[in-house]
Amino acid sequence: MSLPTNEEVREVIRARVKDPELMMNIVDLGLIYDVDITPEKTVEITMTLTSPGCPAGPEIITNVQRETHSAFPDVEEV
């Protein structure tokens, strides 16, 4: 199986990961800055949170990692 594209990763996050306080997906909120897929099967996601002390931050990060792994089982690290 091949590795996902940048856009495929963004689409999975768009469909599956919402900010629990705003109930909007984090891609459309502009929280995902960049997605890079390395030959070593790592997906590197550059993102921010809605505020520096965002109480939902750890939950959002965990959801991004879990949903990316779930959608793309060949990815070894997120």
Contact 47, 33 (CB under 8 A): yes
Distance between CA atoms of residues 23 and 30, nearest Å? 14
DSSP code at position 29 = T
Average pLDDT over residues 48-57: 91
pLDDT over 90 (residue 2):
no
1 band by pLDDT with thresholds 50, 70 and 90:
low
Domains contained in the chain, CATH given: 6-68 (3.30.300.130)
The distance in angstroms from the start CA to the end CA of the chain is 17
pLDDT digits (tens, 9 = 90+) for 10-51: 999 999 999 999 999 999 999 999 999 999 999 999 999 988
Three-state DSSP class for residue 48 = coil
Distance between CA atoms of residues 5 and 22, nearest Å? 27
Query: What global pTM score does this model have?
Result: 0.93
Angle at 18 between CA 44 and CA 40, to 5 degrees: 15
